[in-house]
Structure 1
């Protein structure tokens, strides 16, 4: 649990760094703060999810007697893609009236 919380914290900091770095580019491209906020929030959520799933997946695979080098990347990519996709669409849908 301690490792997972540490990874979540790192994911949050990474997500904020990516959001701050990409935010101005998205704003220049879209000309609106709405899409900028949606993309920034989705990036933060996606990177936190990557951090949270990045610790227990290899540990669980080792406990199941599997080699984490073979399966971790596939599982982690799937988790981050699904969470990122649904967080982006969910936030955009929730804020559609304001965009």
Structure 2
């Protein structure tokens, strides 16, 4: 949606705050829902409540980071005159992969080791 808004000149510095707040709320709600679902499945699967919690928190962090990156990455690319439609999917995939990997292993280190 941000990419389309940038292309149509509907996304400006004046409404970035509102867009960021909306994406944060949607990402946070989505993250909480999936964290609970996946954390519960992990709890049942591995019979380890701490591991379920770690996986749930990692999912939450990953989804929130993805939501925030969906706002910032296209805007940064647009600022540097790079077409966001061409590059944003690769960058967002990289961001979510790195955040997910680091979040999971850091949480494992903190809570399980």
Task: Calculate the TM-score normalised by the size of structure 2.
Answer: 0.79
Match of 1:81 in 2: 97
Compare CA radii of gyration and give the structure with the larger one.
Answer: 2
Count of equivalent residues = 97
Q: Larger relative contact order (C-alpha < 8 A, sep ≥ 6)?
A: 1
Task: Provide the rounded CA distance (Å) in 1 between the counterparts of 2:105 and 2:45.
Answer: 19
Runs of 5+ consecutive residues of structure 1 not aligned to the other structure: none
The CA deviation string for residues 48-69 of structure 1, in whole angstroms up to 9 with x for no partner, is 1001111011112112111111
CA distance in 2 between partners of 1:35 and 1:89 (Å): 11
Runs of 4+ that moved beyond 2 A = none
Unaligned runs of 5+ in 2: 1-15
2:31 match: 15
